[in-house]
Amino acid sequence: DTAVSQTPKYLVTQMGNDKSIKCEQNLGHDTMYWYKQDSKKFLKIMFSYNNKELIINETVPNRFSPKSPDKAHLNLHINSLELGDSAVYFCASSPGLAGESTDTQYFGPGTRLTVL
Amino acid sequence: EDKVVQSPLSLVVHEGDTVTLNCSYEVTNFRSLLWYKQEKKAPTFLFMLTSSGIEKKSGRLSSILDKKELFSILNITATQTGDSAIYLCAVLQGAQKLVFGQGTRLTINP
């Protein structure tokens, strides 16, 4: 009964390929996020969706495209992978947009992407 | 530029010691400050602090926020080897954006 799940857990691929990472949450949350954690363990937000609508889009190359088919899913598609894309990608979710009780973000287990 | 700075970056202590981890921030549209513990995989939520001066406690862990001086501390008393992890401080901004610090790597030796 994992709350926030991601697939795959590990992804090894060649430069130039296109790949997708899937995220699902069964918490009934309205908001989902993608974060990137680099080799120095620094976590940085990439995107946020609320009820399938994009609300945060940080300075991320447009090779990265999030897709939210419904509010329980937020997938990350990456085109033309580059060496610098190697990192751990975390999905997270939170209950909503307003109010203290809705602010806590819960993280998935992460996907370690290695680009060769 | 919004930033969250944690100190120390790394800390090694013996089991039973008490540790204090620091987090200072300069961000716009502050909503709350969160502490996470990251072991091998996903960050797991510890505390969320919104009001100044109110201590939050969970077992041997406690945390407090000072919104005037823009910092928070996380205390761990009677440390155990299972407390070894990276502790992440993050500030939540207006539209649900979490800005993370670089983390403190805590190692507890038996």
Q: Is B73 on the interface with A (CB under 8 A)?
A: no
> How far are the Cα atoms of A94, B37, B45, B62, B104 from residue B80, in angstroms, in the given order?
30, 14, 19, 15, 16
> What pLDDT was estimated at residue A100?
46
CA distance A58 to chain B (A): 10
Across the A:B interface, residue pairs with CB atoms under 8 Å apart total 63
* Facing A105 at nearest CB: one of B95, B98, B102: B98
Note down pLDDT in tens along chain B; length 110 residues: 889 999 999 999 999 999 999 999 999 889 889 999 998 888 999 999 988 888 999 999 999 999 999 999 999 999 999 999 999 999 988 767 889 999 999 999 99
Which residue from A62, A86, A65 is spatially nearest to A13, judged by alpha carbons?
A86
Helix, strand, coil fractions of chain A, as percent rounded to 5:
5, 55, 40
Residue A105 with chain B: CB contacts under 8 Å: 34, 45, 96, 98
> What pLDDT was estimated at residue B40?
80
> What pLDDT was estimated at residue A38?
87
Nearest-angstrom CA–CA distance, B25 and B5: 6
Q: Is B58 on the interface with A (CB under 8 A)?
A: no
Record: contact B42-A104, CB cut-off 8 A: no
> What pLDDT was estimated at residue A108?
94
Stretches where chain A sits below pLDDT 50 are: 98-101
> What pLDDT was estimated at residue A99?
46
Query: C-alpha angle A72/A75/A79, rounded to 5°?
Result: 170
> What pLDDT was estimated at residue A57?
78
